[in-house]
Amino acid sequence: MHYIYYKDAKGNFGDDLNAWLWPKFFGAAKPEADAFVGIGSILCKDSPLFKDLEKKT
């Protein structure tokens, strides 16, 4: 599974937790696989995070 979530250069506890927590539940990230998108990330219209998804379609 490919994990997509917001990453802030200054850090953000909730977002930074994704990199640690999601692999514990779903296994190691595999960029060529399906995507798992964090809920806060999908609330931002035209988020640059979605460029990763466009490459996969």
Q: What is the average per-residue pLDDT within 31-50?
A: 71
Q: What is the average per-residue pLDDT within 11-35?
A: 84
- When pLDDT is cut at 50, 70 and 90, the band that residue 56 belongs to is low
Q: Mention every residue, 6+ apart, whose C-beta is less than 8 A from residue 7.
A: 15, 16
Q: How confident is the model over 15-25, as pLDDT tens digits? A: 888 889 989 98
pTM greater than the 0.75 cutoff: no
- Is beta strand 2-4 parallel, antiparallel or unpaired with respect to 35-37? parallel
10 Å Cβ neighbour count for 3? 19
The percentage of the chain sitting over the pLDDT mark of 90, rounded to a whole number, equals: 2
Domains of the chain, residue spans: 2-56
